[in-house]
């Protein structure tokens, strides 16, 4: 992936993630975005966030084309050490960049190194 062509850190969701995101947002009317966490095993963790950066849904874990998440995730519940990517998929229209930043720090910043 080329960094130069991307003015923001916004990452692109894949098809299966989009379907999950839509489902989560349908059940979370307060959600203005969905946190997407990719794990090294291929499972995903997702949760809706509201405009204050609070959780607007339960954390959902799933694995493509599988009925259950993998054994590893069942044991460690998707440990942060195995996260390969995490970002927020914003509902359009996305909030102002400053608000996005605030929520990102609140939601994603707590366990990254400063
Ligand atoms: Zn897994």
Instruction: Note the pLDDT tens digit of each residue in 67-78.
Output: 999 999 999 999
Q: In this structure, is residue 94 part of a structural domain?
A: yes
CA of 4 to the centre of ligand 1 (A): 31
Q: In this structure, is residue 55 part of a structural domain?
A: yes
Q: In this predicted model, what pLDDT tens digit does every residue of 35-70 receive, in sequence order?
A: 999 999 999 999 999 999 999 999 999 999 899 999
Q: In this structure, is residue 7 part of a structural domain?
A: no
Q: In this structure, is residue 114 part of a structural domain?
A: no
Distance CA 114, CA 52 (A): 22
Q: In this structure, is residue 1 part of a structural domain?
A: no
Percent with pLDDT over 70 in the chain: 87
Distance CA 29, CA 73 (A): 28
3-state secondary structure 25-92: HHCCCCCCEEEEEEECCCEEEEEEECCCCCECCCCEEEECCCCCCCHHHHHHCCCHHHEEEEEEEECC
Q: In this structure, is residue 4 part of a structural domain?
A: no
Q: In this structure, is residue 53 part of a structural domain?
A: yes
Q: In this predicted model, what pLDDT tens digit does every residue of 8-32 receive, in sequence order?
A: 555 788 888 999 999 999 999 999 9
CA of 95 to the centre of ligand 1 (A): 31
CA of 64 to the centre of ligand 1 (A): 10
Query: In which domain, by residue range, is 59 found?
Result: 15-108
Q: In this structure, is residue 38 part of a structural domain?
A: yes
Domain count of the fold of the chain: 1
């Amino acid at each position: 992936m080329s960094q130069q062509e991307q003015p923001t850190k916004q990452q692109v969701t894949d098809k299966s993630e989009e379907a999950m995101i839509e489902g989560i947002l349908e059940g979370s009317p307060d959600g203005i975005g969905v946190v997407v966490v990719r794990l090294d095993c291929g499972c995903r963790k997702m949760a809706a966030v509201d405009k204050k950066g609070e959780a607007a849904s339960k954390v959902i874990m799933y694995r493509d084309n599988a009925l259950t998440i993998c054994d590893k995730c069942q044991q460690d519940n998707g440990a942060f050490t195995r996260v390969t990517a995490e970002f927020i998929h914003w509902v359009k229209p996305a909030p102002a960049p400053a608000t996005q930043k605030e929520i990102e720090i609140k939601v994603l910043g707590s366990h990254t190194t400063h």
